[in-house]
Amino acid sequence: MNDTFASYPSAGTSVSFQTGQGGLPMLAVWTPASVAHIYLHGAQVTHFQRRGEQPLLFVSAQSQFAEGKAIRGGIPVILPWFGAREGKPSHGFARLHAWQLSEIRTLPGDQVRLVLRLPECPEAAEWPQFEAQCAVTVGDRLAMELSVSNTDPARTLDLQTCLHTYFAVGGITQVEVRGLKDVGYLDALENLAPKTQTEDPMRFAEEVDRLYVNTPHAVEITDHAWHRVIRVEKEQSLSTVVWNPWIAKSQRMPDFSDDEYLRMICVESGNMSPNALTVAPGAQATLRVRLSTRPA
């Protein structure tokens, strides 16, 4: 097990600034129940681990920790668009900028809440004016809240948001995903062909890239290798993506090792087309996700 508790206090809660990989600033958070790492770059959680458990999140050993580059793993914050756009960075520009820490607060139950705000970005000039903040709560479970406010006095904000979570697993062929039976999805491997999932649970033996629509409910990942169940609960989210690149795509990605598909599964929560958001002037859209574990 990757034991990140050795240098941390055994009781109480604490937050410290540290120099992370690539020299990027990182917040290390520890509580009596867990440890988390949050990079200002992209407001990205890269590590969460409960005491006595394997890490919850996967980060590629080949990930680039550098300004202007996306971190491959953890929980990338995706906005204001999802996926590819010609001449634009994939999954929007928010994950490529350093966010600003605006609040640290302790909560009941030995929890710590941190709030980060997206600074002004040159890429946002062509968009209606908006403000974004990401709150991370660390305790016995990990919770995130992504809020986007349309501050433009006249224009609506057409928006896609996603918390693109990479989960660490003991072995992808021993993973089952439940909660998506009879749900419609768009198959990205077949030009977004509309389909309906019939299998339950969902198992993995090849590349999978599916965008499930109209899915406000929780999804569970059973990891038989590590004998645990990961529960993904969410609010104000109608889209769920399940992704594993498998062999060929892993070999094509420069920031991903050839065999790392064996140790991860993405189950992403958000509001992506056709569940994209339209936020009126003065209104706010908030996406909440809670991640917890229990023995399998």
Instruction: Indicate whether 7 belongs to any domain.
Output: no
The CA distance from 40 to 147, in Å, is 17
Res 268: pLDDT: 98
Instruction: Indicate whether 264 belongs to any domain.
Output: yes
The H-assigned helical ranges of 146-245 are: none
Helix, strand and coil percent figures for the chain, each rounded to 5: 10, 45, 45
Res 5: pLDDT: 52
The CA distance from 158 to 280, in Å, is 9
Instruction: Indicate whether 151 belongs to any domain.
Output: yes
Res 30: pLDDT: 94
Instruction: Indicate whether 79 belongs to any domain.
Output: yes
The CA distance from 66 to 30, in Å, is 25
Instruction: Indicate whether 162 belongs to any domain.
Output: yes
SS (H, E, C) 256-285: CCCCHHHHEEEEEEEECCCCCEEECCCCEE
Instruction: Indicate whether 96 belongs to any domain.
Output: yes
pTM for the structure as a whole: 0.96
Give the count of domains, the chain: 1
Burial tier of 281 (Cβ tally within 10 Å: 0-12, 13-18, 19+): middle
Q: In the structure encoding, which two tokens stand for residue 160, read together?
A: 């896609």
Instruction: Indicate whether 249 belongs to any domain.
Output: yes
Instruction: Indicate whether 3 belongs to any domain.
Output: no
* CATH code of 93's domain: 2.70.98.10
Res 7: pLDDT: 53
Res 8: pLDDT: 55
Q: Which residues of the chain have pLDDT under 50?
A: 1-3
Residue 188's H or E segment, with its range, is: none
> Residue 157's domain spans which residues?
14-171+244-295
- Find residue 195's DSSP bridge partners: 185
Q: Which residues are catalytic?
A: 164, 268
Res 11: pLDDT: 60
Res 9: pLDDT: 54
Res 12: pLDDT: 81
Res 4: pLDDT: 55
